[in-house]
Structure 1
């Protein structure tokens, strides 16, 4: 029955979201409304797309930062464009839409393949999202559940032993040479944290020793949005399934750690788990999975569930 499919699709959801497109601090916010039951489809695609006209002297990295995106988010949409010399006057899509990641705690969620952090405020019915940089190959950001254990302004950086000869010292004091930036949010394992950066072009890239980096203008705000004890979920979810109004959306990112042997089968499994596969246009689904552009795409409709 159609209603049974809707229940299956939404049983795990705790809330639905409505995009406001309103500035909240230096990041965009999205309002949330707690669900009264599990029978209403969760609306978990948020944001909106824009068009940007490239100006003289702009790089893709400048454009990404000015629109609160990571470099990866534009590079996936425009893989053949020179990031340093995008054509002046060209209209480019700013892909500022997202399917929200699954969360058990509604506090802080980091999705590794997406290179994006989500901060939920259930008490204020808000969610905010920020681009991040993550661990490079050989020093991957670890997934799992953790907590905030410290908040430090103007932190010192203890240089990893393998890098001390190159850096020339064991500890880097606060200041412009410190790759931690001006704020440090330490996590429970003691090895990694969420912090600022003195290299803003590393946001949306795999550049750290495992830590999660944020733009300087974002980490200052985020620092004041978290408290010691807050839960942090670090996920590896290259495929996300969302619903907005009557449409079913699929958002697919590259499997950067080569964990998933068959992305098409993985996407189909997620849709089936949510009882949505019968409403999917399979050709659209295949195109979205193949493209892996990181942009949510409509691949079906709720009204088509279980239609003959």
Structure 2
């Protein structure tokens, strides 16, 4: 890993100081490409300015805790020393879903929101870290939609959750009023899923749990992220809830793979991961199997750090001359090769 100068790190910090810049990606010009990039640097780094923790760094850059821990396996999660270098996320492969509404890929603890295209503005996608349901309260999968939006919601804990808290010596009231200790935070999006599943904010007590598998099935977001999402999406917005721990996508004729660990309570072997990855690679290359370094693929499926890795580079597709029969009103022309 190339460690840059303090000056370069300062540029990086100033470049992503704004919340919008930290989560907004311009979609690739080629509509068939699905790899998005945040920074010009292949491996963006930051130098911490004071002793803190990796969750502190994740909070500052709106990353999930699990995500930043995976990217920094040699950094002490609870004791990052002043001037220590921390690696940040950069590239992401978009989940294999329609580029509309919201996609929740619970396998990577991350959400993708595709705002409506505006005239004169390149298509964009907003990406947010979020927490998901733990093993015994799994977040459901499938297509749904937002059916209600509530600001400053009161929380009515289900009886099952009240029993759980009572058993742990932490009884809950029948209603938790809005405020800094309300687990729903200040904004709530109600999904059309039986059981009352929500996308919501968080209270000050659990803010460092974003990007972890800790909720009772709902999707929990940072306060500023849920506020931005709440103010952007209307009722009726489609929501795709998927679990794609392995993703494959193109960017500028290079094929990338991104792999994440299994969720708690799930376990797949390396052979099973390889089988899934090979099928995705073949699908991405029009059902052909390109010649690529199998060692790079195996390494990505072993490390499972969620960082897209280049597998294969194809020749650029060029515009080829095409002979057009005369006598039919045509003057000849060029078509792009496929």
SS in 2 for 1:127: strand
SS in 2 for 1:287: helix
Q: Would you say the 8 A contact 1:22–1:28 is kept in 2?
A: no
Are 2:145 and 1:147 equivalent residues in the alignment? yes
Q: What is residue 9 of structure 1 aligned with on the other side?
A: none
Q: What is residue 38 of structure 2 aligned with on the other side?
A: 47
Q: What is residue 120 of structure 1 aligned with on the other side?
A: 114
Q: Name structure 2 gaps, 5 residues minimum.
A: 1-14, 318-338
Are 2:161 and 1:185 equivalent residues in the alignment? no
Q: Name structure 1 gaps, 5 residues minimum.
A: 1-19
Are 2:244 and 1:237 equivalent residues in the alignment? yes
Q: Deviations over 1:83-102 (max 9, x none)?
A: 11023322121123211112
Distance 1:132 1:105, change over 3 A: same
| Greater C-alpha Rg | 2
Q: How does 1:149-228 map to 2 (within 5 A)?
A: 149-164=147-162, 165=166, 166-190=170-194, 191-198=196-203, 199-228=206-235
Root-mean-square deviation (CA, aligned residues, Å) is 2.4
Are 2:303 and 1:291 equivalent residues in the alignment? yes
Q: Could you state the TM-score of these two structures normalised by the residue count of structure 2? A: 0.77
Are 2:294 and 1:282 equivalent residues in the alignment? yes
Q: What is residue 268 of structure 1 aligned with on the other side?
A: 278
Q: What is the Cα deviation at residue 170 of structure 1?
A: 1.5
Distance 1:202 1:91, change over 3 A: same
Q: What is the Cα deviation at residue 79 of structure 1?
A: 3.1
Q: What is residue 82 of structure 1 aligned with on the other side?
A: 76
Q: Deviations over 1:206-259 (max 9, x none)?
A: 111000010001111110111111100001000011111131111000121526
Q: What is the Cα deviation at residue 282 of structure 1?
A: 1.1
Q: Would you say the 8 A contact 1:251–1:294 is kept in 2?
A: yes
Distance 1:243 1:231 in 2: 25
The structure 1 segments of at least 4 consecutive aligned residues displaced by more than 4 Å after TM superposition are 20-24
Between structures 1 and 2, the one with greater strand share: 1
